Structure 1
Amino acid sequence: DSRLRSSTHEPSSPEPNQIPNPPIPGDPAPSAEVLFNQVNTFAKNNGFGIVKLNAYSYKGRVKRYTFQCDRYGEPKPSRGANLRARKSRKCGCKWKLIAEALTEGAWLLRLHDNPEHHQHNHGPSAASSAHPSHRRLTKDAKATIESTSRRVGIRARDVRAVVQDQHPELNFTKRDIYNARSLINREKLGGLGPTAALIKLFDEQKVPYIVKWADDNPNRLLGLVWTFPYCIGMWKRFPEVISFDNTYNTNRFKLPLFQATGQTCLRTVFNTAFGLIDNEKREGFQFLAESIKQLIEEHSIQQPDVIITDFDGQMKAALNDQFPEVQQQLCIHHINSNVQLRAKQKWLKSPGSSSNSSCGSDNEAGSSSQVQLSTANQQSLSAPVQNGIPHTFNGVFAMWKLVVFAETEEVHDKAWINLCKEFNDQRPILRYLYGTYMPIRAQWARCFIQNYRNFGIRVTSGTEASNNNIKGYLLNGMSNLYRLVEAMQDMIKDQSQDFIDGCASDEVLTAPEYLRPSAEYLGELRTLVSSKCLALITAQYRLAKKAMPTAKNPFPAALGDCVCSVPVELGIPCYHSIYIKLASGTSFTKQEQHNRKKGKQSKCCQNEGVVDRVGA
């Protein structure tokens, strides 16, 4: 073939910094794809990229392609409104080659007939990553990206490092990782919007949910409450205490995220349900409370004994409407934080002045007020009260803690009277305390809340920790609802595994003090209850031991009548019950359960009760 002979030659030596041509015609390639890959590899090693176009077919078989530089031609003028500046790699280059199959299965190269297409008009690129043809991800690389991107919170740079380690021969940029992940996410949605895809996912995975749409726009989401099968199982097992709290900056719609949590026998936190509402008014909280109650009824979950929240009147009213017989408690950490801050704001430096008392209202301070407290003040929230109480705003807080943590109602009333007497000159502070907290003292004072089965839980810190935890699974606060739920599924999966591991460890590890003869009173409880429960029972045992005769003290003081709140509050035997076991030489059995308030029987005790150690 004369045309083949005319094109069979080696190109002349290129000038310095000039890009050479590949071997022409080169070795025959079995297909156009193989030939393109060969030329593309040559281009990668010599600082340029190529594209394949202009396929020519004859009698149903492709016989010719054009391989040209990816910088071929002039930049096209923008036809848009120039709102987004677009860059172009076009530089007027004319270089291109012809790939032909003169016989079937033998693809060769030849130069273009026009000499202006024989050389590039630019030098080699500094890196092959500047050309898309060298950044093509293989199927294996895409599979690696998909597997490492299953966790929503994994960043693109971390995925890039993993792909580079597993596929060092590839060239790609961080933008390629973003694009690949974006494509994967679009494929997950299946052509639907994120919210519609989420509802479809719930239906396919049989995830319990309650959704509320706007009456005037059936596509506008007003509220969504859902849970997961694992959460339902844990909720049934530990239903007694539920804590509610909300967080922000978790989704692009700025919907506040509410989480309801409980505590396990290991004193770890588990999620019971999640909720999104479009407003923090009564109607939003009403939907949230109604949905929680609906989930409880649909899945035959025991109604909680105690609900713990912060001081949000609208949310408390909605919960009280749906759970009128449930004891509501206030988070004492929030109360103490606000009391300390308001005492500082309202403190009168000189008696009779009111210049400082106007700072803030008498209503409950929001979460932002906690930020204004110093680190030292935050640490003092749980610090013990000392005997010497100064006549300062810190002294107000010190005496207030005596009111909060009083063991009996008599001591509680006395502590409040002493506070009023000591700081009688600080009327703004006393009015704030009396008007804000004292009317609802049954929801936060130790002497009152110990009469309910709350297992010693007095704060919403577990729910707040879960709020912080979910953000660790998100890249930012602009996720759509589909990705938000994906992050929650990852969190629940880790939560489940951590609980199983904790239960397994707690089952095989036993402290030496429970293996001694002195612990025989525990009987079957040693293998039936968690180490947290055993530690609390041991504290009661030490009190009972003081009433047992010894060689040094053959006539110890009697215990007196049992008025202990421990069996009700914690679900464990009090020191009176333990004393009876010690005196009679008997031990506890698994059939022994403790009466709950109002004569009810506890199905299972949460973190201090008699429960199996192995995870459900």
Structure 2
Amino acid sequence: MGGGKRTTASRLINCPFEIWGKRRVDGIWWVVLKNISHNHVSSSDRSGHPSCRRFSKEEIEQIKEMTIAGIPPRQILTSLRQSNQNLQAIARTLYDAKAKIRNESLLGRTPIQALFEDIGQGGFIYDFKHNKSGHLTHLFFAHPLSVALTDSYSYVFLMDCTYKTNRYKMPLLDIVGVTSFNTSFYSCFAFLEREEEEDYVWALERFGKILGVDGHPLVIVSDRDLALMNAIQVVFPRTTHLLCVWHIEKNVLSKCMSQFEEKEEWDMFLSTWTYLIKSLDESTFDTAWKLLEIQYKEKVFILNYLRNTWLPFKEKFVYAWTEKYMHFGNHVTSRAEGAHAMLKKYLQVSTGDFREVKGKICLAIENQFQEIKARLCSEKVRIPHKFHIPLFKELVTHVSIHALREIFKQYELATSATQVATCRGHFSNTMGLPCAHKIRVKKDGTLELDDIHQQWRIDIRSFTNIDGALDSEGVQIDCLLKEFHEKYQQMPLVQKEDARIQIAQLVDVPFPFIHEPNVHPHKGHPMGSQKRKDDSSTRRDPSAFEIVERNKKCGVCKGVGHNSRTCQYKVTALSSS
């Protein structure tokens, strides 16, 4: 291949073989052999002919079902071969079949029109924006199951954007909540044109509508995205906003590690910085900062960076301030990072349109919801043996096992001979659970349900009727759509436009005459990173701190690409001695 041109080929080789056939009125075929000679040898393997690689109708139905279930193409092909040993199809055959199925499911509509019909008749909460030329620029949506979970667990949320999820290269804002079991759930999603304050304000205002008129989270955790931080302050002024401690540490690493020549010096600095973050009161923080200024007074760049970039937001990440708020132990956005990773396992590629991405997101949400519902029902009838103590008499089967474990740790402190530190109220303030000091007072009695924050209560929650009510009308519409689809395939081309209008009336959703979004460039690559050649990958580009860690010097030989533990120079020296 050269010059970016596609290599083409043909199976036409001017073979003289010719046979004519005509069907008579009585139904009998009349066949005449015009020329029976060939200019080529006979094929030794019929798999070389596309007509022999076609799927049967039954196999097409299996492909549809497995595609909807999110099974990767290679596994679909393997499954089909297990049931049909003579299957001649190859990967290209499967991709073509999937493309045909996808086009047929559109019923003559554009992907954007089909998307709005899907979310309109599926009970989603959604909104969108488009520019003057009619191209979609913003799309917010929340699955009905996610809305139910958000309504039940409306206290703490984590927000972060992820990339490489769609063919338009638009960032996806993922808002993640926390359950009674300390697990995560997808609350809502928003595709944004840009990552500026007005874009975030638009998305957060739609998220606020899910929470209700007076609803606002207790705590929101994010990284240091100034546009998102400003938007949170605008939309949720009463909400406490915390910054991810992990992201802060990695940003400090990427900016400051190069200022240290020895690994031991860097480790010492990082330990000092961590101690400062974990200061439990303001006076301890002030002392730790003064010590850091004195100890690293020659590192002017580092001190200026910390002073100008992070200290103005110290109330959002230093424990002296953050441990006053009910964040349920969420200091970092790793929960959101994990949600991104799980979502991309469903997406598989980053070349899907919004309808395809929405379908994969729905699979993730529905599986996630089923796990939460099953766990809720299970913990209502399951009691770990170590919790059979008088203190927990009123709590078991009413409070999640995760919360009981956290209380049990405090119970062990309260009943141990070890002197318990002076109560600062941090554990109760942040977790909504009784601390060791309160348990010591009650160790001869029992804890009450009023001592437990509603976040951890399982007796006040039930999701058994939500998925069944999503609704019967939706099931009826799905049946009608399936019946209509079968008729649509038999229609002449001239009738399909009228049929498209009928399908819109069937689902009772108006067609927004909106074009697909323009393709946006990805967020800039960090210095030193290499742009991926595989444009379909969902894997993110390396972060700045990963590039620094990858290029850091070995403490033994000062080489790059390894550390002192794996240094070959060190290994050779030890073996020779």
Asked whether the two chains share a fold, i.e. TM above 0.5, the reply is yes
**Equivalent residue, structure 2, for 1:610:** 457
Q: 2:436 aligns with which of 569, 575, 579?
A: 575
Secondary structure of 2:204 counterpart: helix
Aligned counterparts of 1:93 and 1:131: Cα–Cα separation in 2:
16
State whether structure 2 residue 69 is matched by structure 1 residue 148: no
State whether structure 2 residue 246 is matched by structure 1 residue 333: yes
**Equivalent residue, structure 1, for 2:296:** 423
Give deviations 1:186-206, integer Å, cap 9, x for gaps: 122222222222112111112
Give deviations 1:49-87, integer Å, cap 9, x for gaps: xxxxxxxxxxxxxxxxxxxxxxxxxxxxxxxxx965542
Aligned counterparts of 1:427 and 1:122: Cα–Cα separation in 2:
80
Give deviations 1:473-515, integer Å, cap 9, x for gaps: 1232111111111110111122122223433454455433212
Q: 2:326 aligns with which of 442, 453, 467?
A: 453
Q: CA deviation at 1:262?
A: 1.2
**Equivalent residue, structure 1, for 2:187:** 272
Q: 1:220 aligns with which of 102, 110, 135?
A: 135
**Change in CA separation of 1:188 and 1:85 when aligned onto 2, cut-off 3 Å:** same
Instruction: Check the 8 A contact 2:216/2:238 in 1, yes or no.
Output: no
Aligned counterparts of 1:558 and 1:190: Cα–Cα separation in 2:
69
Secondary structure of 2:352 counterpart: coil
**Equivalent residue, structure 2, for 1:284:** 199
State whether structure 2 residue 3 is matched by structure 1 residue 130: no
**Equivalent residue, structure 1, for 2:94:** 177
Secondary structure of 2:251 counterpart: helix
Q: 1:479 aligns with which of 322, 340, 352?
A: 352
Aligned counterparts of 1:176 and 1:402: Cα–Cα separation in 2:
59
**Equivalent residue, structure 1, for 2:335:** 462
**TM score, norm. by length of structure 1:** 0.70
- Unaligned runs of 5+ residues in structure 1 are 1-81, 350-376, 378-389, 548-555, 595-601
Give deviations 1:142-180, integer Å, cap 9, x for gaps: 11111111134x333322222222233443232221111
Q: CA deviation at 1:531?
A: 1.8
Aligned counterparts of 2:420 and 2:199: Cα–Cα separation in 1:
55
Query: Match for 1:143: what amino acid?
Result: E
Secondary structure of 1:164 counterpart: helix
**Equivalent residue, structure 2, for 1:531:** 401
1:550-569 equivalence runs, <5 A: 562-569=423-430
**Equivalent residue, structure 1, for 2:537:** none
Aligned counterparts of 1:557 and 1:199: Cα–Cα separation in 2:
62
State whether structure 2 residue 217 is matched by structure 1 residue 304: yes
1:581-600 equivalence runs, <5 A: 581-582=442-443, 585-590=444-449, 592-593=450-451
Q: 2:173 aligns with which of 241, 247, 258?
A: 258
Instruction: Check the 8 A contact 1:236/1:302 in 2, yes or no.
Output: no
**Equivalent residue, structure 2, for 1:19:** none
Aligned counterparts of 1:543 and 1:157: Cα–Cα separation in 2:
53
Secondary structure of 2:448 counterpart: coil
**TM score, norm. by length of structure 2:** 0.74
Aligned counterparts of 2:300 and 2:5: Cα–Cα separation in 1:
61
Secondary structure of 2:102 counterpart: helix
**Change in CA separation of 1:148 and 1:225 when aligned onto 2, cut-off 3 Å:** same
Aligned counterparts of 2:176 and 2:445: Cα–Cα separation in 1:
38
Aligned counterparts of 2:225 and 2:448: Cα–Cα separation in 1:
43
Instruction: Check the 8 A contact 1:330/1:444 in 2, yes or no.
Output: yes
Give deviations 1:296-354, integer Å, cap 9, x for gaps: 23xx68420011110011110011101111111000001111223323234599xxxxx
Query: Match for 1:432: what amino acid?
Result: Y
Instruction: Check the 8 A contact 1:97/1:109 in 2, yes or no.
Output: no
Aligned counterparts of 1:559 and 1:251: Cα–Cα separation in 2:
52
Instruction: Check the 8 A contact 1:278/1:284 in 2, yes or no.
Output: yes
The higher-RCO structure (CA 8 Å, 6+ apart) is 2
Secondary structure of 2:206 counterpart: helix
**Equivalent residue, structure 1, for 2:387:** 514
**Equivalent residue, structure 1, for 2:9:** 87
Aligned counterparts of 2:420 and 2:275: Cα–Cα separation in 1:
28
**Change in CA separation of 1:330 and 1:102 when aligned onto 2, cut-off 3 Å:** closer
Q: CA deviation at 1:224?
A: 1.0
- Unaligned runs of 5+ residues in structure 2 are 464-577
Q: Is 526-535 or 286-295 further displaced after alignment?
A: 286-295
**Change in CA separation of 1:341 and 1:85 when aligned onto 2, cut-off 3 Å:** closer
Aligned counterparts of 2:32 and 2:63: Cα–Cα separation in 1:
39
**Equivalent residue, structure 1, for 2:109:** 192
**Equivalent residue, structure 1, for 2:37:** 119
Q: CA deviation at 1:448?
A: 1.0
**Change in CA separation of 1:119 and 1:508 when aligned onto 2, cut-off 3 Å:** farther
Aligned counterparts of 2:29 and 2:420: Cα–Cα separation in 1:
106
Give deviations 1:520-578, integer Å, cap 9, x for gaps: 1112212211221111101211222247xxxxxxxx97986x54122221011122321
Give deviations 1:205-249, integer Å, cap 9, x for gaps: 1211111111x22x2111111111111111111111111101111
Aligned counterparts of 1:247 and 1:126: Cα–Cα separation in 2:
50
Q: CA deviation at 1:612?
A: 3.3
Aligned counterparts of 2:341 and 2:83: Cα–Cα separation in 1:
33
Aligned counterparts of 1:342 and 1:172: Cα–Cα separation in 2:
53
Instruction: Check the 8 A contact 1:285/1:314 in 2, yes or no.
Output: yes
Aligned counterparts of 1:110 and 1:183: Cα–Cα separation in 2:
34
Instruction: Check the 8 A contact 2:151/2:210 in 1, yes or no.
Output: no
Aligned counterparts of 1:558 and 1:194: Cα–Cα separation in 2:
62
Q: CA deviation at 1:581?
A: 1.6
Secondary structure of 1:259 counterpart: strand
Secondary structure of 2:224 counterpart: coil
When the two chains are superposed, the root-mean-square deviation of aligned CA atoms in Å is 2.6
Aligned counterparts of 1:426 and 1:132: Cα–Cα separation in 2:
69
Q: CA deviation at 1:252?
A: 1.0
Aligned counterparts of 1:258 and 1:293: Cα–Cα separation in 2:
14
Query: Match for 1:530: what amino acid?
Result: S
Aligned counterparts of 2:85 and 2:16: Cα–Cα separation in 1:
33
Larger radius of gyration: 1
**Change in CA separation of 1:468 and 1:301 when aligned onto 2, cut-off 3 Å:** farther
Secondary structure of 1:525 counterpart: coil
Instruction: Check the 8 A contact 2:150/2:211 in 1, yes or no.
Output: no
Secondary structure of 1:201 counterpart: helix
Aligned counterparts of 2:437 and 2:145: Cα–Cα separation in 1:
38
Taking only the aligned residue pairs, the percentage that are identical comes to 25
Secondary structure of 2:138 counterpart: strand
More helix by share: 2
Secondary structure of 1:211 counterpart: strand
Aligned counterparts of 2:340 and 2:24: Cα–Cα separation in 1:
67
**Change in CA separation of 1:84 and 1:563 when aligned onto 2, cut-off 3 Å:** closer
**Change in CA separation of 1:566 and 1:109 when aligned onto 2, cut-off 3 Å:** same
Secondary structure of 1:528 counterpart: coil
Secondary structure of 1:275 counterpart: strand
**Equivalent residue, structure 2, for 1:317:** 230
